[in-house]
A and B are shown apart, each in its own frame.
Chain A
């Protein structure tokens, strides 16, 4: 079965603390993995994708095929990082995205 699991509904940290948002996936084949973010009262937008291997807004995510994970990390959280984060995957022969249930990140001052 194709599935994305985000075990944490809510993650609360203080400004400057490291952040790791967990994402595990189940997919038979080689999926493409994404992190999407939704800031308050804004639309869903792409944060990063594993094939680009970029760091966006200080966030990075490494695809671990052995553990089927794609955790999102940032060494020093900022208040403006507070948002809803969704991990998603798509398959080789389809563009449809399969999303996890999301993790709300709260960064306190």
Chain B
């Protein structure tokens, strides 16, 4: 499968714990995006990278959230001190120019 992959696909954690998600983009894509989707809503933009540079961050991305793309390839999204409101589907997408290709998402449940 040469599409965008995300791991894990599901994560259940207790409130206050830290979690980290990984996204592997399509190999030649230089842009990588993170979105969050809650029930009944469309995806909401969190942040995006061009190569290793983080170019834009949403106000939704509180200081408990951090994203990295250290070598311009895969990316990680870490949430510290998780809260129940963080429960959502976290989507990653990548692009070369124009169309964004989405991964299957990581579903986070905070209990």
Size band of the interface chain B makes with A: 20 to 34
**Which residues of the partner chain B approach A86 to less than 8 Å between Cβ atoms?**
42-43
**Which residues of the partner chain B approach A96 to less than 8 Å between Cβ atoms?**
33, 45, 48, 56, 58
A46 within 8 A of B: yes
Taking chain A's interface residues, is the majority helix, strand, or loop, or is none over half, making it mixed?
loop
Q: From B99, which residue of chain A is reached at the shortest CB distance? A: A46
Inter-subunit contact B100/A46 (CB<8 Å): yes
**Which residues of the partner chain A approach B95 to less than 8 Å between Cβ atoms?**
95
Interface CB pairs A-B, < 8 A, 20: A9-B40, A43-B4, A43-B105, A44-B43, A44-B102, A49-B98, A86-B42, A95-B33, A95-B48, A96-B33, A96-B45, A96-B56, A96-B58, A97-B45, A97-B100, A99-B42, A99-B43, A100-B42, A101-B40, A101-B41
* B residues with CB within 8 A of A: 3-4, 31, 33, 35, 40-45, 48, 56, 58, 91, 95, 98-105
